[in-house]
Amino acid sequence: MMIPACPLADLPRGEAFRLEIDPPVTVFHTEDGELFAIDDTCTHQDASLADGWVEDCWVECPLHASKFNLKTGEVDAPPAKLPVRTHEVVVQDGMVYVRLSTTAPNLPHCVARKLAGTLT
């Protein structure tokens, strides 16, 4: 599924755009000019990676400093243990779109339960 995110002009280098879908996805525009989309939620605790810090091809979670690779989703070190999903980014006519991954997300415990309907 292709979801429109934002006009490319509204996403300067060094910025991130958070798509308010469930679970949320964030598009990162790196200082090098590359675009990546990953699940926005850290796999350790409910924190928004859009609020994190991007260096090279990694985003550091703002809460506990686990870093996620923007290309592969892999995590560098605990406390997060599972990778985030990555999504394909497509730019068409100046618009940024995200093609969502069809694999299951690795959400932190309480968010996953909420999605499963066991936590209100």
Partner 1 sequence: MHNAVRSRSSRRVNDPSTTFPEECTVTSTSLPDSLIATLPGSSYTDPGIFEQEQERIFESMWFCVARASDLAKPGAFRTVDVGRESILVTRARDHSIRAYFNVCRHRGARICTEESGEVKRAFQCPYHAWTYDLNGKLVAAPNLTKMPDVGRTEYGLVSVATREWLGYVWVCLAENPPSFEEDVIGEVVGRLGDVESIEHYDIDSLSVGKRIVYDVKANWKLIIENFMECYHCATIHPELTEVLPEFADGYAAQYYVGHGAEFGEEVRGFTVDGSEGLDRIPGVAEDQDRRYYAITVRPQVFINLVPDHVIFHRMYPVAADRTIVECDWLYLPHVVESGKDVSRSVELFHRVNQQDFDACERTQPGMSSRMYAKGGVLVPSEHHIGAFHDWVHERLGTHQQ
Using an 8 Å Cβ cutoff, are 51 and 87 in contact? no
Binder to partner 1 among 3, 15, 64, 90 (CB under 8 A)? 64
45 binds partner 1 (CB under 8 A): yes
Look up residue 6 and give its two tokens: 């934002």
Q: Which stretch binds partner 1 (CB under 8 A): 6-14, 50-58, 69-77, 85-93?
A: 50-58
Site for partner 1 in 72-101 (CB under 8 A): none
Whether the bond into 24 is cis, omega within 30 of 0: no
Look up residue 18 and give its two tokens: 């958070």
Closer Cβ to partner 1, 76 or 88, answer by number: 76
